[in-house]
A and B are shown apart, each in its own frame.
Chain A
Amino acid sequence: MRRKPLLRRLAPWLVIAGLFIVWEGACRALKVPEFVLPVPSQIFGVLVSRWDALLPHATQTLLTTVAGFVGGVIVGTLIGIAIGSSRIVYEAMYPLLVGFYSIPKVAIVPILVIWFGSGTIPAVITSLVICIFPVTVNVATGLATTEPELEDVLRALGASKSDILWGVGIPRSMPYLFASLKIAVTVAFVGTVISETVAANRGIGNMMMIASSNIDVPLVFAGLFLLAFMGIALYASFAFLEHRMTGWAMRKNEFSV
């Protein structure tokens, strides 16, 4: 694979650095008070000076998110295979799925707290639930795009439904699955933090709630930075995996990682 030119590799870092410089400069020039909008240098200062206190919260949020994400991907893939390979399951399940996905996830947290108590479990379930829909829709779409002629070729050879599913349907839907993983891994953080904010005593969501009630705005922003950083890291690892596993689908795509 040809290496990207230097400028293209540096471009995302330059944009982030530029944003921070403009932010820092504007805040200093306009003398924005720190309890409204702290400057990036101060936020990084908090990240370093209070790292020991932040680390357990970050670990808690990361593990919760990954657990919910893994569960959500498994459930989402299974539902996706079911509705993508059977017309009747598709028609039966779709309205329910859409209805379920339309419920704001923050609204189910209190119910989960009643069932499981506050803490890690509601957070895992919230992020799990939020991951299901994008994965399901993408896997089902991938399965549905199998060319009918190809299916005819295989069926005329005596291929069974499961031959076609494993040989064609599932590989064909891999690019769709990976596209959905990148969405799911970012929304999984949303699910975790929502739940931690409402009902938990650990995790970045909880820490940010406490910090904001103490008007410790730099610490709130430090939490946001940590979330963004973890989101980017997970997104990038799935983008990398995607490139390794489904490169055949991206041959013309100059925009892949």
Chain B
Amino acid sequence: MTGAFVRLEDVDLIYEAGEGEGTLALQQASLAIGKGEFAAIVGPSGCGKSTILKLVSGLLKPVKGRVEVAGSAVSGPVKMAGMAFQNPTLLPWLRAIDNVLVPLKIVPPYREQFRQKRAEYEARARALFKVVGLAGFEERHPWQLSGGMQQRASLCRALIHEPQMLLLDEPFGALDAFTREDLWATLQDVWMMRRPTVILVTHDLREAAYLADRIFVMSARPGRVLAAHEVPFPRPRTLDMTFHQDFVDLNHALRKEISEARDEALA
């Protein structure tokens, strides 16, 4: 793909662990994700899925190979990514709405205008709270919110500055099944509304198949991208679809690939 928004080419990454050789986390990892595409990365645990997000966001530099975002090589933090993790990492001393406003205090051009335009930004945050189903909880502190609500707020924080790229590292991993499925629908709505480029790292294959346009399967460590699966189901997807035969077949195929990758690594 030539018009890729995010591209990794033959990337190696080693985590230095003090003295000695360090851990080879990625070896010759390559992938390309188009603008506005929703990509999911799945693979055995410890295969370097999260490492890919850190490379794309510019928090880590590859030892070898090339990482490109929006047509230029990444050499430092990309300054435009919205990120969310399994742990919602909200600031406990701020109200939910102030937590969501944090990126606007950091990212230009909002940063310079924060004082003058605070009311406007707050209105924008409130609108976003409504979209994710958190209206009415703006003034609460994080510890007054349930895990699912905190994760919704964390998602709002990742979206408030309308980033072109959303990097999600198992954002729903710590939630119960019902809350998780609710949030899938929410995330799909937001994505369809704004079409950011999304990279979702997950170990939940149903989640990947429900949300993504394309699913990248990675090998065990050192991680490589083994295969990319197009997900053909029409949008908006519904939970009912996840029980159709096609959907279940795709899940089985993914599961098989991952367990083969694991076995290969163990052999």
Interface 0/1 of A79-118, CB less than 8 Å to B: 0000000000000000000000000000000000000000
* Chain B 70-102: CB-based contact to A (< 8 A → 1; otherwise 0): 000000011111111101010111000000001
Residues of A with C-beta under 8 A to B143: 248, 251
Identify which of B35-43, B51-59, B173-181, B194-202 touches chain A: B51-59
| Shortest distance from the beta carbon of A176 to any chain B beta carbon, whole Å | 13
Say which residue of B59, B102, B105 sits within 8 Å of A152 (CB atoms): B59
Query: Which of A156, A168, A171 touches B59 (beta carbons < 8 Å)?
Result: A156
**Shortest Cβ distance from residue A175 to the other chain B in the assembled complex, whole angstroms:** 9
Q: Does B241 contact A (CB under 8 A)?
A: no
- The answer to whether A168 touches B107 (Cβ under 8 A) is no
B92 close to A156 (CB less than 8 A): no
Residues of chain B within 8 A (CB-CB) of A174 are 93
A34 in the interface, Cβ–Cβ < 8 Å?
no
- Is the beta-carbon distance between B87 and A156 smaller than 8 angstroms? no
Interface size on A, residues (CB 8 A): 21
* Structural contact, A156 and B78, CB atoms closer than 8 A: yes
- CB of A147 within 8 A of CB of B87, answer yes
A254 an interface residue at 8 Å Cβ cutoff?
no
Residues facing B in A168-209 (CB within 8 A) are 168, 171-172, 174
Q: How far is the CA of A249 from the CA of B79 in the complex (A)?
A: 30
A158 in the interface, Cβ–Cβ < 8 Å? yes
How far apart sit A147 and B54, CA to CA, in the bound complex (Å)? 16
Chain A positions within 8 Å of B214 at CB level: none
C-beta contact mask, A118-144 vs B, less than 8 Å → 1, else 0?
000000000000000000000000000
Structural contact, A153 and B89, CB atoms closer than 8 A: yes
Measured between beta carbons, the chain B residues less than 8 angstroms from A147 are 87, 89
| Residue contact B57 to A156, C-beta cutoff 8 Å | yes
> Which residues of A lie under 8 Å from residue B83 when comparing CB positions?
152-153, 156
Contact A153 B107 (CB under 8 A): no
Q: For the complex, what is the distance from the CA of A248 to the CA of B98, rounded to whole Å? A: 14
Q: How far is the CA of A227 from the CA of B92 in the complex (A)?
A: 37
Q: In the assembled complex, which residues on chain B have CB atoms less than 8 Å from the CB atom of A216? A: none
Q: How far is the CA of A158 from the CA of B165 in the complex (A)?
A: 14
Flag if B87 contacts A157 (CB, 8 Å). Answer: no
Is there a chain A Cβ closer than 8 Å to B157's Cβ? yes
Q: How far is the CB of A2 from chain B (nearest CB, A)?
A: 16
Q: Which residues of A contact B (CB under 8 A)?
A: 147, 149-150, 152-159, 163, 167-168, 171-172, 174, 246, 248-249, 251
Residues of B within 8 A of A (CB): 54, 57-59, 77-85, 87, 89, 91-93, 102-103, 105-108, 141, 143, 157-158, 161, 167
